[in-house]
Amino acid sequence: MHTVMWTFQVPEGTSKESLRQTIKATAHTYQGIPGLIRKYYGIRDDGKTLVGIYLWESRAAADRLYTPEWVATVTKRWGVPPLRQDWETPMVVESAEKRLVEAA
C-alpha cells in the first residue's frame, strides 16, 4: 500500500465553514477511483492549512490520478501549489474492526 499526503495553504480570510463546504462539494469526485482505498480530509485548528491523505493500493495507482492537470486544478482552487509527501504503508490498523491490513 502507499499513502500520499497533499498539504494546501488556505487563502487568507477563508473560513473553516467555507473549507467544509468545498470538501462536501468535491468529495464525491474521489468515489470509485481505481486503486484508491480511502481518503481523509483534515483542517488544521487555525484553519490555515488543509490536507488530503490518500491510501492507495500502490504508488502507480496514485500517480495515475496526480497528473499535471490534477495539480493545476487544485492549485487554481487554493491559489498556491500543494506540497506532496509519499509514504510506503506496510500496515493499516482498522481499530474499530479490530483488524490489521498488511500490504501485499
Domains along the sequence of the chain with CATH: 2-102 (3.30.70.100)
Query: Which tens digit of pLDDT belongs to each residue from 84-93?
Result: 999 999 999 9
| Helices and strands (DSSP H and E) totals, the chain | 3, 6
**Residue linked to cell 500500500:** 1
This prediction's pTM: 0.90
Closest by CA position to 5, among listed 38, 51, 48, 50: 51
Tens digit of each residue's pLDDT (9 = 90 or more) over 15-44 = 999 999 999 999 999 999 999 999 999 999
> H or E segment at 59?
helix 59-65
First-to-last C-alpha distance (Å) of the chain: 8
- The alpha carbon torsion through 66, 71, 77, 81 (nearest 10 deg) reads 130
Nearest to 9 by CA among 54, 53, 52, 48: 48
| 104: pLDDT strictly greater than 90 | no
Mean residue pLDDT across the chain: 95
Residue 6: pLDDT band by 50, 70, 90 thresholds?
Answer: very high
